[in-house]
Amino acid sequence: MRYLLLFTSLLFFIFPISTTAEEMVTVRLVNKIGNIPKLEFRLEGGYSTFSPMLTVKEGVTYSLKVEKGKLILQGADMKIILNDSLVLIPEKYNTNQRVYINGQPYLGAMEFQVEKEKYIRPVNQLPLDDYLKGVVPFESYPSWPLETLKAQALAARTYAVSHMNQPMNDTIQYQVYGGYQWKESSTKAVEETRGEVITYKGKLIDAFYSASNGGITENNSHVWKEKALPYFPIKRDPYDPTYPWEFSLERVQVELKKIDWNYPNWWQGTVEEDLEIVSVMKRWLARNGYPGDIKVLAVPHFEISEETLESGRSLRGSISVDFLHRLPEGTIMFERVSLENVALDRIRPMIGGTTFKSYLIESFKENGSTYTVKGLGFGHGVGMSQWGAAVMGEQGKSYREIIEFYYPGTSLENIYEE
């Protein structure tokens, strides 16, 4: 990202006077883009590039694609092979200057990079608060009370400021960012808390949050195997609605005796029982040494240990998966992957976080053919419960009271005040 260091000094001159270099956020666009070799973009307002020989025009739909590790730009009756990334700088910064990527609007500067010599990776840079206006409505519901949205804005700002030295992406790996899709309520929450961050003994905290803690918060050390922090206590949360969940998994996914091996399209005609979970398992298997076509046959063993943490969250479990693995040349192998008595955070990704929502397990049952798991919460449970914060807001609590409850002992400071 050779050009991004230049963005800050450039944007200092085109952005409002109140913006400083320390307030710029760099975010890689992954969530809606994925890994693609081609995309389209369109500009509203005036934009320039770093090349005096390259002019881009408003209203023109341009295409970018990667060929042999280089970007090819087409549009406005031109075709240019770029030796480096493409950087677009707004002539002036406001909400009328937008870059539309595959129809999605973004403010600020944009760099299109070649990633792994075959993908296009857009990288957006814009002021901190405008970045947050694109985060808060995607990390919470804009219909929630304003005080709840303010608490979310503080958590999101604190997280962003503490990650200023690294380019974040726009996924749940960091914070979900939707570009210029602002909502009136969440924008107001960001503006009315301008500059406010959460600190402990004068230092920014890791302002973790999750959708629901299931009625009890968790300590950071239990989740990330790091030093326990005092502002992440384990305590009952009377505001969290607990978010009950449940999923079932069939032991047998495909009955081998029902497969007609003589039928030419038997592979395509073979369908597993639990398609949603199985699709996640296949992606997990691909990441762990089994790329290509897979048919999951069975989950002959699955259990969750009764051992729990102080918070009641489960610690360990076991799982085995039997599957057919079709190699590129057509050979079909029978395979088994087994994880025995491992940390539960190794098993959850095999099933999927949107199905296996937390480690706060209420019950685990096996009836011979089906495994059934019931639990509470959605996410790791450390820090603020977003649903709990919503309830606090509905009960008339202020955003300061919400922050104090979920990050006890912390203080609010303003990064723009000395």
Average pLDDT, integer, range 99-127: 95
Q: How much is the average pLDDT of 58-64?
A: 95
Q: How far apart are CA 176 and CA 186, in angstroms?
A: 14
Residue 343, pLDDT score: 96
Residue 77 has a pLDDT of: 87
pLDDT recorded at residue 418: 64
Structure-block tokens of residue 311: 């918070």
For residue 164, name the pLDDT band (cuts at 50, 70, 90).
confident
For the segment 136-156, the average pLDDT, to the nearest whole number, is 97
Instruction: State yes or no: pLDDT of 299 exceeds 50.
Output: yes
- 12 band by pLDDT with thresholds 50, 70 and 90: very low
Rg (CA), the chain: 25
Question: What pLDDT does residue 108 have?
Answer: 96
Residue 416, token pair as written in the block:
């723009």
Unique residue bearing structure tokens 């990776």? 121
Q: Are 298 and 306 in contact (CB under 8 A)?
A: no
16-19 long-range Cβ contacts below 8 angstroms, 24+ apart: 16/93, 16/127, 19/127
Contact 40, 102 (CB under 8 A): yes
List the one residue out of 29, 147, 157 whose CA is nearest residue 99: 29
109 CB neighbour count, 10 Å cutoff: 28
Segment 332-349 shows an average pLDDT of: 96
pLDDT-derived band at 258 (thresholds 50, 70, 90) equals: confident
Q: What global pTM score does this model have?
A: 0.87
Mean pLDDT computed over every residue of the chain: 92
Q: Where are the alpha helices (DSSP H) in 205-305?
A: 220-224, 266-269, 275-287
Give the chain's length. 418
Confidence at residue 9, expressed as pLDDT on a 0 to 100 scale: 45
Which residue's entry shows tokens 């509203």?
A: 44
